[in-house]
């Protein structure tokens, strides 16, 4: 993923339905460190590099801080293989 956009999304699902509740733009480290590329693409200067798992953790924490509770969390292998996520 050298030159593409990747979104990390947080959804909430119940027996009554589902919705997306948060999203973050994942930037590869090469993009995060290249101010010219970021400027041309309109990426805000405040956007810093974070792994996909770190972005997911931030979104989960924001949801929990807002009072959202869940019985469990599901993620794919990118997150499951990241020891920092758990």
pLDDT score, position 48: 87
What tokens does 63 get?
């949801």
Does residue 3 have a pLDDT over 80? no
Cβ pair 85, 57 in contact under 8 A: yes
End-to-end CA distance of the chain: 24
More confident residue, 86 or 13: 13
pLDDT score, position 24: 94
Residue 81 domain flag: no
Q: Which domain holds residue 25?
A: 6-76
Q: For residue range 42-60, what is the model confidence (pLDDT) as tens digits?
A: 988 888 899 999 999 999 9
Residue 22 domain flag: yes
Entry pTM? 0.84
Residue 12 domain flag: yes
Residue 56 domain flag: yes
- Split into its structural domains, the chain has a count of 1
Residue 35 domain flag: yes
Rounded to whole angstroms, the Cα distance separating 72 from 55 reads 18
Cβ pair 21, 11 in contact under 8 A: yes
């Amino acid at each position: 993923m050298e030159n593409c956009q990747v979104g990390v999304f947080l959804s909430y699902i119940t027996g009554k339905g589902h919705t997306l509740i948060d999203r973050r733009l994942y930037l590869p480290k090469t993009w995060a460190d290249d101010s010219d590329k970021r400027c041309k693409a309109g990426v805000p200067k405040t956007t810093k590099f974070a792994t996909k798992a770190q972005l997911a953790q931030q979104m989960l924490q924001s949801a929990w801080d807002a009072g959202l509770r869940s019985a469990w969390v599901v993620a794919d292998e990118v997150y499951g293989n990241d020891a920092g996520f758990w």
